[in-house]
Structure 1
Amino acid sequence: MLPFEVEVQGETVAIPSRIYNEGPGANPQQPLTATQQGILHCLYTRHSDGLIRQRHLEQIVASNEPWVVPFVVQLAGEYVLEILEVISRSLPGLSTPGSTQRRPYGEFIARNPAFFARTERRVVS
């Protein structure tokens, strides 16, 4: 299946539907920068194993990086209770109008209505 493309601050971000390779080892040969680690965690939120998705979500869910938002929203659409609990616990300001946590999610949804509608349909079904 092809990745789903979304717009984040004028840039296209491709979200893979699933990845199936083994996760990275505990000690990669070359250390990763914080940005590289964030990207790695985002990609592994698309893993076929739900426990791996949850573990990597826990590493990024509270991130202030705007490119993390579509990966969190995508997981909300999968309606896995444990993942929804991580999102709810890590983003308590998401339900508060004008909060710093809510703003990037609102902006993302406003710029990606088709993605949000697809996610919403998945939750409803």
Structure 2
Amino acid sequence: MEKSWEPPNSTDALVRAFPSRLAGDVRSVLAVVPEGRLSSADPFQVEVWGETVTIPSRIYHDEPNADVVRSLSGIQQVILHCLYSRHCDGRVRQRHLEQIVRLDEAWVVPFVVQLAGEYVVEILESIYRGLPGLGVPDSVQRGLYGEFIARNPVFFARVERRVVSYWSCYYRWKYPDFGTYPGGLLAEAFRAAASERVGAPWPRHTPAPLMNTGGQTT
């Protein structure tokens, strides 16, 4: 179980959520972010193109006002949306996710994949709608997500298990077949991307899709 993250300098901790080449832009964003009510919590580490980043599972900062956000550069606005996709309020997470999910940036990918392993089904639907390229062989999106999963197999396996857990606990009544659950659809698409990237079937940590065979399932 991951421990709460309470670094002495939360600004430095949040800078580490992004590749080092973005540190200056991250600090510019954090300069306009209201002070957090609590320490950022439960970080997870992933590799992004050969560099380890440490991303909080939750942040507890109020959102800056719209005028402040508009004053940021384009890349700084993307950084801000990534950070607030980790917000403690699910509606805030979804709003900021929808600003980044279609972007073809490797350092955005872990923020999106982490959300696929969370419990808000509307967020899962937003991710699925925002990643149409996952179903297209050799697309940019499929390449980015396949590369990320190939570099972070343990992290992705944990995401898959969380998808199954939340489906079983909260949504099984609505989606008896895991393969029709938005999180199940995402997991399948992510695995297909990883399989294409490595040229071999990617390990499964979710129920296999049901196959209709003459009125029976297997």
TM over 0.5: yes
Structure 1 pair 30–120 and aligned structure 2 pair: CA distance change class (3 A):
closer
Give ranges in structure 2 of 5+ residues lacking alignment.
6-42, 166-218
Identify the residue that residue 18 of structure 1 maps to in structure 2. Answer: 58
Higher Rg: 2
Identify the residue that residue 70 of structure 1 maps to in structure 2. Answer: 110
Q: CA RMSD in A?
A: 1.5
Q: Is 1:37 the equivalent of 2:80?
A: no
CA–CA separation in structure 2 for the residues paired with 1:42 and 1:66: 12
Structure 1 pair 79–35 and aligned structure 2 pair: CA distance change class (3 A):
same
Provide TM-score, normalisation by structure 2. 0.55
One-letter code aligned to 2:151: R
CA–CA separation in structure 2 for the residues paired with 1:61 and 1:13: 19
The offset of 1:89, in angstroms, is 1.1
Q: Is 1:49 the equivalent of 2:83?
A: no
One-letter code aligned to 2:57: S
SS at 1:24 equivalent = coil
Provide TM-score, normalisation by structure 1. 0.93
SS at 1:12 equivalent = strand
Identify the residue that residue 153 of structure 2 maps to in structure 1. Answer: 113
CA–CA separation in structure 1 for the residues paired with 2:124 and 2:100: 14
Aligned residues: 125
